[in-house]
A and B are shown apart, each in its own frame.
Chain A
């Protein structure tokens, strides 16, 4: 069936078409603010790819998005929309930070895994209520997870600022106010950076790059999710329920049970999203801890078509765009918001392109199948 490969190629082409279109729109925007698009794009590329630190920063930037993208994709596959990855990772990160500073004297090989598990459980905890409400009460998960995101924001704010704030911070000279943050995480819970390993390979990563072992962990997780979805009985049920719960039910699969498990799994993965930043870059959680990974994760899953490989690629693309934006801002005087526009257009056009392409492919496949059965 040589034609099937053609369809796969077409399927892959749709994100590329969308990216090309977004680049075009971005060019118009750049031209509108009086800059030369070609030059700006060139700076973006050279800044991102010619410098070793940029590449490392891109990979570091992609790391949380791999986790949040996978979390969203698993729920999508089960026919659910987990819009709550945002709140789930904040809760997970908070609990991880708590376990990071509260537990002392543990060896690293116990403490670090423990903190990761706590973060995952925190994410799952925050996904428990929406899925319970969904299967028992019919409350749509989009509504409940969005609402829980706000609750998570406020709750974290309260817990950091009023309950667990680090009162013993030594004030930096010249800075009047202490940071509103949790106590620092014990060294035994921090994730090592990849510098040592890369040095062995002859790559000398600069100190200001925080690329750490969560990146390869994310890649491993993507591989694991791939096998889970396509090669396990649970993944089979998950897809069956996602496509057609009525038929799954008639076949003896309990759609509610599958959806609960899928959603909790999504929450588990979501919970780990913030750890790359927490356990290597910050070392503590403060009020300004990066937000938005959950929402960007939705875009990443969408762009990656809910496939783990696609998600990794999409996360890298976002990492590149963010790093490129910094370069463009510094060296071309183009505001970073231009790149945000680029991202937005890209997501919109990818949705359109994949819908159009999907319809075309299905029509072709149908005709072909009809032809064969005649």
Chain B
């Protein structure tokens, strides 16, 4: 008999049936993937399971007994634990403190730390988790933080773990390690529900895969009995173009030239270190790398939102460095400086030079959520002669413009007058894309353009970027999604620790090798020039990640195999670690 059983679970919202009579049977010790596009009802279903929502109809059975999960607390009492996509950790607390937080073993109000350490230590041992319990969470890698989250749930006695898009923030090696951990958990009898829309991962880790579409369970298949294209068809109801159509590569003149650019990060220390690159007309230059390695700061510097401290930027042959550097010298250090206005018209000048920016955080940088669709459609263009005359907004042309954007980019909305807040993520991104590409830019800087989008919207965004490239635009694509960078780009650079540590054409290198660069290994013709002093940095980074790289024994090997072609500093460590664990 199934361990967890959902019978005809239905959850309605006004005008929407988010879950329509969904029946699932999940066995003990199974990894079950739940896939579907955004809005397919995955999250709603999981919220029903974790006690955040009450189903309108249907029942949930656990171990054959009917249960009512009326609160998250009740869910955890029943052994259902949720590992959130955004970690709920306190950065300044240690790993141990974070794990026991909320149900600390205590006597008379005093935390019994030794007891806590013993319990958590045993858990780590049992499920083979590598974690330094005394380390502060803020010092941990993302992968390690995720392990803390999982341990938190296990510590509370979870038998069923729900993981919501757990791989979204991880590097390939970290994903592998997560999968190793998950398999351990499964082999010890834990049940895992894995939510994702990355089909390759699902096919790798899941025992069975359930597909949701528009609130309905389309079907459940065993991993061995399906393949990628079939799953994709189930998800979207039509075959998805996984191989992207791409015109021949005919690069033109340099549209963006970056020379020795150094950009300070939030703390004032350089987040981008002496990066040089060129993006030509008619090409997509992709920047791969784990998030937080200076990509965001690079993009902000290129789009005029952050001042560089050294180096040069040329857009269409025009040096925008003076504009960028004009007022870089801070009057005072630290907090005060950030209060100074940053833009000072620079963003506008860059935009006039033909720069279009698709920001990584679309809700923070790309849209004014409280304003309507038609108002957002001209954000940044609202001063152009067609939309403002003598300071007066030309409402009718603006609405007409929004209408045409909506039509051309197939944005699905109930109307133009609704606040953008109420539009789905995919349509929000389409709106930004429509607005930015609609003004015929010469250079497009796109940062994480498909993050969080469903397959349909992702495909659409990628095709638009490719179309822009084929029409002779220069595109700088920054993405944490390696597959995306590799399939779209004509040339690829990898960033690590603020530096561009490798540059190649896709197909020249294996994903494993790229993963190796992403974790701090270096290999580049120019390394001799840049490397010398930075070797220590690189090695330190690799060492730190070493614990995490362990299970990826294959990586070291693969990287070693073609290592002869290029100079490489960090390969030794990575290879060594991999070998040691294997």
* B341 within 8 A of partner (CB): yes
Please tell me if the beta carbons of B380 and A251 are within 8 angstroms of each other in the complex: yes
How far is the CB of A219 from the nearest CB of chain B, in Å? 21
Asked whether A252 lies within 8 Å of B341 as measured between CB atoms, the reply is: no
Interface contact B383-A240, CB-CB below 8 Å: no
Query: In whole Å, how far is B566's beta carbon from the nearest beta carbon of chain A?
Result: 37
What's the Cα separation between A137 and B268 when bound, in Å? 17
User: Which B285-343 residues have C-beta < 8 A from chain A?
Assistant: 303, 305, 335-336, 338-343
State the CA gap A237–B391 with chains docked (Å).
11
A1-B415, A137-B336 known; A250 vs B369 contact (CB < 8 Å): no
Beyond A135-B339, A370-B424, A371-B14, whether A251 also contacts B414 by CB under 8 A is no
A253 touches B343 (CB 8 A): yes
Question: Which A residue's beta carbon lies closest to that of B387?
Answer: A233
In the assembled complex, the Cα of A256 lies from the Cα of B13 at a distance in Å of 42
Report yes or no: A371 in contact with B13, Cβ–Cβ below 8 A: yes
A254 to B303, CA, bound (A): 14
User: What separation, in Å, do the CA atoms of A370 and B393 have in the docked complex?
Assistant: 30
A367 on the B face (CB < 8 A): yes
Q: Are B364 and A244 in contact (CB under 8 A)?
A: yes
Choose one: A236, A364, A366, A372; the contact of B393 (CB below 8 Å). Answer: A236
- A373 and B368 contact, Cβ closer than 8 Å, known pairs A138-B336, A250-B305, A256-B341: no
Contacts of A243 in B (CB 8 A): 368-371
Check if B237 is an interface residue, CB within 8 A of chain A. Answer: no
User: Which of B245-253, B272-280, B345-353 forms part of the interface with chain A?
Assistant: B345-353
| Residue B32 interfacial (CB < 8 Å) | no
Chain A hits for B227, CB < 8 A: none
Chain A positions within 8 Å of B169 at CB level: none
Contact (Cβ within 8 A) B339 A138: yes
Contact check, A365 vs B375: say whether CB atoms are below 8 A apart: no
Counting CB contacts under 8 A, is A4 at the interface? yes
Complex interface: chain A residues within 8 A of B375 (CB): 236
* CB atoms of A250 and B393 under 8 A apart: no
What CA separation (Å) do A159 and B369 show in the bound complex?
Answer: 48
Known A-B contacts A138-B338, A257-B341; the reply to A248 vs B16 at CB < 8 A is: no
Q: Give the distance to chain B from A210, nearest Cβ to Cβ, in Å.
A: 37
Q: Which bracket fits the contact residues of A?
A: 35 or more
Residue A50 lies at the interface, judged by CB distance under 8 Å to chain B = no
| Interface membership of B522, Cβ < 8 A | no
- Our pick among A233, A234, A246, A252 for the contact of B364 (Cβ within 8 Å) is A246
Are B418 and A365 touching (Cβ within 8 A)? yes
Contact A250 B365 (CB under 8 A): yes
Q: At the interface, yes or no: B559 with Cβ under 8 Å from chain A? A: no
Q: Are B382 and A250 in contact (CB under 8 A)?
A: no
B424 close to A232 (CB less than 8 A)? no
Q: How many A-B residue pairs have CB under 8 A?
A: 142
Question: Which A residues lie within 8 Å of B214 (CB)?
Answer: 374
Contact residues of B between 365 and 388, Cβ < 8 Å to A: 365-371, 375, 379-380, 382-383, 387-388
| Residue A208 interfacial (CB < 8 Å) | no
Question: Is the CB of A9 closer than 8 A to any CB of chain B?
Answer: no
Q: In the complex the two chains form, what is the Cα distance from A252 to B351 in whole Å? A: 7
> Measured between C-beta atoms, what is the minimum distance from A85 to chain B in Å?
23
Contacts of A253 on B, CB cut-off 8 Å? 343, 348, 380
Chain A residues contacting B395 (CB-CB under 8 Å) are: 231
Q: Which of A232, A364, A370 contacts B391 (CB 8 A)?
A: A232
Say yes or no for A308: interface residue by CB 8 A criterion.
no
B421 touches A249 (CB 8 A): no
Looking across the interface, which residue of chain B has its beta carbon closest to that of A228?
B391
B419: interface (CB < 8 Å): yes
A247 part of interface (Cβ distance < 8 Å): yes
Shortest Cβ gap from A366 to chain B (Å)? 5
Q: Which of A216-242 contact B (CB under 8 A)?
A: 231-237, 239-240
A254 engages B379 (CB within 8 Å): no
| Residue from B341, B364, B392 within 8 A of A255 (CB atoms) | B341
In the complex, what residues of A have CB within 8 A of residue B344's CB?
A: 254, 256
Can you list, as one digit per residue, whether each of B1-40 has a CB less than 8 Å from chain A (1) or not (0)?
Answer: 0000000000001111000000000000000000000010
Interchain CB contact under 8 A, B335 and A372: no
Bound together, the chains give a CA A108 to CA B421 distance in angstroms of 52
Q: How far is the CA of A250 from the CA of B300 in the complex (A)?
A: 9
Q: Is A162 an interface residue (CB 8 A)?
A: no
B413 proximal to A (CB < 8 A): yes
Cβ of B339 and Cβ of A249 under 8 Å apart?
no
Query: What class of interface size applies to chain B in its complex with A?
Result: 35 or more
Asked whether any CB of chain B lies closer than 8 Å to the CB of A368, the reply is yes
Measured CB to CB, the closest approach of chain B to A224, in angstroms, equals 13
CB of B357 closer than 8 Å to a CB of A: yes
> Which residues on B sit within 8 Å (CB–CB) of A134?
339
Asked if A362 lies at the interface with its beta carbon under 8 angstroms from chain B, I say yes
Please, what's the 1-or-0 string for B415-436, where 1 marks a CB less than 8 Å from any CB in chain A?
1011101111001000000000
CB closest chain-A residue, reference B214: A374
Residues from chain A with Cβ under 8 Å of B413 in the complex:
369, 372-373
The reply on B359 being an interface residue by CB < 8 A is yes
- Chain B residues in 8 Å Cβ range of A365: 418-419, 422
Q: A233-B392, A246-B365, A368-B14 are in contact. Are A1 and B347 (CB under 8 A)?
A: no
User: A365–B13 Cα gap in the complex (Å)?
Assistant: 12
Bound-complex Cα distance A243 to B332 (A) = 28
The residue in chain A whose Cβ has the minimal distance to the Cβ of B415 is A1
With an 8 A cutoff between CB atoms, is A207 at the interface?
A: no
Query: Counting CB contacts under 8 A, is B471 at the interface?
Result: no
Q: Determine the distance from Cα of A275 to Cα of B380 in the docked complex, in whole angstroms.
A: 39
B412: interface (CB < 8 Å): yes
User: For B387, what are the chain A residues with a Cβ–Cβ distance below 8 Å?
Assistant: 233
Contacts of B341 in A (CB 8 A): 135, 254-257
Q: Judge whether B367 and A247 touch: CB under 8 Å.
A: yes
Q: Which residues between 332 and 374 of chain A lie within 8 Å of chain B, taking CB atoms? A: 362, 364-374
Q: Are B15 and A368 neighbours in the complex by a CB distance under 8 Å?
A: yes
Whether, in the assembled complex, A51 has its beta carbon less than 8 Å from a beta carbon of chain B, the answer is no
Please, which residue of chain A has its CB at the minimum distance from the CB of B345?
Answer: A254
- The reply to whether A244 and B369 contact each other, CB–CB distance below 8 Å, is yes
With the chains together, A289 CA to B347 CA distance in Å?
48
Q: Is the Cβ of B412 less than 8 Å from the Cβ of A373? A: yes
The CA-CA distance from A371 to B419 in the complex, in Å, is 15
Q: Which residue of B lies closest to A249 (CB)?
A: B343
Q: Is the CB of B423 within 8 A of A373?
A: yes
Bound Cα distance A374, B41 (Å)? 11
Which residues of B401-453 are within 8 A (CB) of A?
Answer: 412-415, 417-419, 421-424, 427
User: In whole Å, how far is A358's beta carbon from the nearest beta carbon of chain B?
Assistant: 11
Known contacts A234-B391, A240-B371, A374-B39; decide if A252 and B422 are in contact (CB<8 Å). Answer: no
Decide if A136 touches B339 in the complex (CB within 8 Å).
yes
**Contacting pair A370 B13 (CB below 8 A):** yes
The residue on B at minimum CB distance from A257 is: B341
Select A244's contact among B15, B340, B368, beta carbons within 8 Å: B368
Max chain A Cβ within 10 angstroms of own Cβ: one of B335, B387, B421: B421
Q: How many angstroms from the CA of A347 to the CA of B419 in the assembled complex? A: 27
Are B427 and A373 in contact (CB-based, < 8 A)?
A: yes
Check if A251 sits within 8 Å of B379, measured CB to CB.
yes
The 9 closest A-B pairs by CB, nearest first: A138-B339, A371-B15, A256-B341, A251-B380, A372-B414, A252-B348, A369-B422, A233-B388, A252-B347
Which residues of B line the A interface, CB within 8 A?
13-16, 39, 214, 303, 305, 335-336, 338-345, 347-348, 351, 357, 359, 364-371, 375, 379-380, 382-383, 387-388, 391-393, 395, 412-415, 417-419, 421-424, 427
- Tell me the A residues contacting B by CB distance below 8 Å: 1, 4, 134-138, 231-237, 239-240, 243-244, 246-257, 362, 364-374
Additional A-B contact list (17), CB under 8 Å, known A233-B388, A366-B421: A1-B417, A135-B341, A138-B338, A231-B392, A233-B383, A236-B382, A236-B393, A237-B382, A239-B371, A246-B365, A248-B368, A252-B351, A254-B343, A367-B14, A368-B414, A370-B16, A370-B422
The contact sample of 12 A-B pairs, CB cut-off 8 A, is A138-B336, A232-B392, A236-B375, A239-B368, A248-B379, A250-B305, A251-B347, A252-B345, A255-B343, A367-B13, A369-B414, A369-B423
